[in-house]
Amino acid sequence: MRKSILSLAVAAAVLVPGLAAAQQPAPSPLTGNITLITDYRFRGISQTFGKPAFQGGFDFAYQGGFDYAHPSGFYAGNWNSNVAENAGYPGGNLEMDFYGGYKKAFGDFGLDAGLLYYYYPGSKAEFLFNPHSPTQTNNGTVYNTEVYLAGSWKWITLKWSHALSDYFLVPDTKGTNYLDLGAAYDMGGGWGVNGHVGHLSVHNFSEASYTDYKLGVTKDLSGWVLGASLVSTNAKHDCSSGDPYCFFKSTGGTYDAGKSTIVLSVGKTF
């Protein structure tokens, strides 16, 4: 899930008329990025129990992807990350996102529309449940399909995402919505600040609805972007009251995946 610390969207190519266009090589339509991050937070909820999903001693979660953009504004891409199976993907530890869409700029304004498919190979959806739909079950590999529409003005973006399938195959949650207001401001000298507030409305499962927040700063060092963000949610934070974001640890006990935390990252786009 792009579960977003660093954006993987590719902007449409800018056409430069006249001699300048002939003298400068056309930008490559293929870009990629890699990121190391201390806690993979998707919509404010930890996917790695506050630490690397690789449980063999790694200090950071690995995330990577690639995108293909056509000069007309069409784009497609893939993004991947390791996850913890107890974060809602029983039997799986890998997230693979596939997306495509169209982006168009109108001066300081922009529109972006597309489709995003989340896939968790090896996971088993039959272990997921919705207490309000005890007789409904889903089988097979966990996935989620969303359509999204975003509008932007300069450094501010408002994005709406709508689940076309049961939300990550939790039964009877088709039609779940996520509204995301974000801002990223370039302060110059390689410094940037960013903020975000989002609200998830889970269809037929109101206890799973919540609001998440993020406030962060970035520094570009010769193409390597360092980031630090405060991430929080207003989820229940009470593992004794059936909070759906209190995940069971494989070693016993529970983990509040929506608690406040500082997330550190380093990434590069190429």
What pLDDT digit, counting tens, does each position of 221-260 carry? 999 999 999 999 999 888 887 799 999 998 889 999 999 9
Average pLDDT value for residue range 127-149: 95
pLDDT at 71 over 70: no
Give, as one character, the DSSP assignment of residue 89. Answer: -
State the pLDDT at residue 164. 98
Residue 116 pLDDT level (bands cut at 50, 70, 90) = very high
pLDDT: is 30 or 59 the higher one? Answer: 30
CB 246 within 8 A of CB 253: no
Ramachandran category for residue 245: left, alpha or beta (phi over 0 → left; psi -120 to 50 → alpha): alpha
| The predicted structure's pLDDT at residue 205 | 96
What is the structure's pLDDT at 31?
A: 81
Q: Summarize the confidence of residues 39-66 as an average pLDDT.
A: 67
User: Which amino acid, 71?
Assistant: P
**In the predicted model, is pLDDT for residue 23 greater than 70?**
no
3-state secondary structure of 241: coil
Cα gap 199→178, rounded to integer Å: 6
CA dihedral 135, 136, 141, 144 (to 10 degrees): -150
Length of the chain, please? 270
Please state, in angstroms and rounded to a whole number, the distance separating the CA atoms of residues 65 and 94.
13
Residue 116, classed as helix, strand or coil, is strand
> For residue 15, what pLDDT is reported?
35
pLDDT for 26 beyond 90: no
End-to-end, the C-alpha distance of the chain in Å comes to 21
pTM: 0.87
Helix, strand and coil percent figures for the chain, each rounded to 5: 5, 50, 45
Band (162; pLDDT cuts 50, 70, 90): very high
